[in-house]
Amino acid sequence: MNFFEFWLDHAPVMSILIPGFTAFILVLLGNPGSGSLSHDWRQPWRRGVSCFSMVLGLITAICYLIQANTGVITVYQLSEWSAPFGIVLVLDRLSAFMLVLTYALAVPLIWFASKEWDERGRYFHAMCHFLLMGLCGAFLTGDLFNLFVFFEILLMASYVLLLHGQGKARFQLGIHYVTINLLASALFLIGLGMIYGSVGSLNMADVSRLLPTLAGDQYQIAVAGGLLLFVVFAIKAAILPVGFWLPKTYAVATTPVAALFTIMTKVGIYAIIRVNSMVFNDELSREILSSWLLPIGLVTSVYGVIGAIGAERLRRFVGFMVLSSVGTIVIALSLMNTDAWTAALYYLVHSTIIAATFYLLCGWITSQRGSFKDHLKVAPMMKQQTLVSICFFIIALMMAGLPPFSGFFGKIFILQATAESPYQLLIIITVLIVSLLSIMAFTRLGLVIFWRATKPVDNPNDEAFEEYQKLPEVSPARNDRTIYIFLTGLVAYVIFANPIMNYIHQTAVQLNDSAFYTKSILKTDEHGQVISVQPYDPNYLPETKYGGESADPNAHLIPYIISDKTLQGEHISEYKQRQIEQRQLELEQSPDDSKLKPMEP
């Protein structure tokens, strides 16, 4: 078997293994104190391994995107056990799309951070790859519990990255961030318990299939568990009223970390889309969700832009604008139609990249304002005033949603998708008002930082003159070039909007076809019956030499839930093989007896 065949056989798990193994290698390399990193002989190795792994991950994600573009859903069975008995990873259009977005954001940022920022704290590169491992796992998993597991992996990495560079403010807000996410994790587990106790499964496709068959009380408990998961995902996505933590928290993170964290809110958005399109897609759940999403999205969008107008620091301004963009995405999701979800996904990419670019610009501006940092106060002109102001102007146009940039097209697509909504006028007015307020917020920002900036002191005897002379003549290393990369990418995002929108539209169509998703994941027997069990029977062990020589009425189902290689391997005893054959002969005489049966204790 050549490498290409091996890669195909193990897609999509490679997207999780690449950052996972890279993180462990970087940990094994060791890491001295932050003050010694610049002189440590291993630092170039850390950077080289990290950047190589990032590029490899991006190439893999692009290959997955090409593979998913065929419309086929690729299912990877861990340990060769089929769902719902085993854990599966699922590669479809949406997961491939999110993987490419993640790496398209991470590769330039890690390259930028590898110049100076990674020397300000220990295990920076290792934590970034653990974060990517959690992100990729969350996008690929087909199991609700493993979604929780990968959430915890990315959150633990984010706790360390938030404190990267140290400082009192980072520590204080880091405690708040950890506390909020621990609460969310507890709610996540409670919601999973309610679903599992009612449905008997946590595989997304299996829960979707079994949910409509539940009795009244069990159904209500399962739906309540699903709504509890929505609260958790809303916390991750920073949707009001559980999103107040974001502006201050992201404001204290170092520049590359804050930029990388812009993808974190999109994990929550992704989870809402995935779980509520594939799992809780029954009429009651969709009705409840749509009735909640619209007012929440409207309020979040308006609150974010108002908070930005009143912000006193540049980084908090960006955080509030991130909140506003999340609200705009939620408005589109609330419409519950293919065109609206297509627009939401298109705007999601724009909002992620432009927010990361703005955080990078904050780092550039802060480095040239000396003691004024990112406070919105009148300060002496920056040494690169013209260049920085041009970058700010372009970012402002993009983020406010003005033509001819991607933010404008994203909002236009959302407004077009409201054609059949009874709330069309309300949505249009809100989106236009938010865009107008965004322009006002950016105008205020430009006036304070650029237009009203004073001339530098030219008296050599003045202390302010000496302080100004110490400020850097150029941007921090690679800061400006990383901004140019992202801005170029967003321009290309508009130029190639037609093929991109075609892909995204097919993604939205696939999301609304839960039957195809379920059929791709769950196995059926020769009679077309899904091999599953509800509620789950812990006494049922559908394999192995470890099961002993006890009668197994479900032996005939074993060939359907494990691979042919495993079936012929050493873990299936001769006794079990004979029992499989015997049960198959019995069923030829009485085919109605083929359904899964509970085992005797």
The model's pLDDT over 370-423, given as tens digits with 9 standing for 90+, comes to 778 888 888 888 888 889 999 999 999 999 888 889 889 999 999 999 888 888
Instruction: Please state the separation of Cα 544 from the chain's center in Å.
Output: 38
Task: Look at 159-168, 367-376, 402-411, 568-577 and tell me which has the smallest mean pLDDT.
Answer: 568-577
Q: Give the side-chain half-sphere CA count within 13 A for 363.
A: 28
Q: Give the pTM.
A: 0.86
Residue 42: phi and psi, rounded to 5, are -85, -10
pLDDT band for position 238 (cuts 50, 70, 90): confident
- Residue 83's SS3 state is strand
Is the pLDDT at 489 greater than 90? The verdict is yes
**What pLDDT is recorded for position 409?**
92
Q: Cα–Cα distance between 345 and 501 in angstroms, integer? A: 9
**What pLDDT is recorded for position 505?**
93
| Tens digit of each residue's pLDDT (9 = 90 or more) over 353-378 | 999 999 999 989 988 887 788 888 88
Cβ contact 221:191 at 8 Å: no
**In the chain, % of residues over pLDDT 70:** 87
Cβ contact 236:307 at 8 Å: no
| Size (the chain), residues | 601
The dihedral built from the CA positions of residue 458, 464, 470 and 475, taken in this order, carries a sign that is: negative
- The letter for the amino acid at 594 is S
Which candidate, 551, 324, 586, 335, places its Cα nearest to that of 434? 324
Instruction: Please state the separation of Cα 507 from the chain's center in Å.
Output: 16
**What pLDDT is recorded for position 350?**
93
**What pLDDT is recorded for position 535?**
46
Q: Taking all residues of the chain, what is their mean pLDDT, rounded to a whole number?
A: 84
Q: Cα–Cα distance between 284 and 584 in angstroms, integer? A: 41
pLDDT band for position 286 (cuts 50, 70, 90): confident
Q: What is the dihedral angle through the alpha carbons of 73, 76, 80, 86, rounded to the nearest 10 degrees? A: -90
- Rg of the chain (C-alpha set): 26
- The letter for the amino acid at 369 is R
| Tens digit of each residue's pLDDT (9 = 90 or more) over 83-114 | 777 788 999 999 999 999 999 999 999 999 88
- How far the first Cα of the chain sits from its last, in Å, is 44
Residue 76: phi and psi, rounded to 5, are -110, 120
Higher pLDDT, 547 or 281: 281
**What pLDDT is recorded for position 437?**
93
Is the pLDDT at 599 greater than 60? The verdict is no
Q: Cα–Cα distance between 287 and 278 in angstroms, integer? A: 15
Is the pLDDT at 439 greater than 70? The verdict is yes
Instruction: Please state the separation of Cα 580 from the chain's center in Å.
Output: 43
Helices and strands counted in the chain (H then E): 25, 2
Higher pLDDT, 471 or 50: 50
- The letter for the amino acid at 292 is W
pLDDT band for position 140 (cuts 50, 70, 90): very high
Is the pLDDT at 534 greater than 60? The verdict is no
Average pLDDT over residues 275-288: 75
Instruction: Please state the separation of Cα 265 from the chain's center in Å.
Output: 7
Is the pLDDT at 544 greater than 50? The verdict is no
Residue 143: phi and psi, rounded to 5, are -130, 135
Cβ contact 78:87 at 8 Å: yes
Task: Look at 29-43, 76-90, 191-205 and tell me which has the smallest mean pLDDT.
Answer: 29-43
C-alpha distances (whole Å) from 414 to each of 95, 408, 481, 555 are 22, 10, 32, 52
**What pLDDT is recorded for position 526?**
64
Is the pLDDT at 6 greater than 70? The verdict is no
Examine residue 74 and say whether the peptide bond preceding it is cis (omega within 30 degrees of 0).
Answer: no
Q: Cα–Cα distance between 200 and 437 in angstroms, integer? A: 49
Average pLDDT over residues 115-139: 88
Alpha helices in 35-167 (DSSP H): 43-68, 93-113, 124-140, 144-162
- Residue 74's SS3 state is strand
**What pLDDT is recorded for position 483?**
94
**What pLDDT is recorded for position 598?**
47
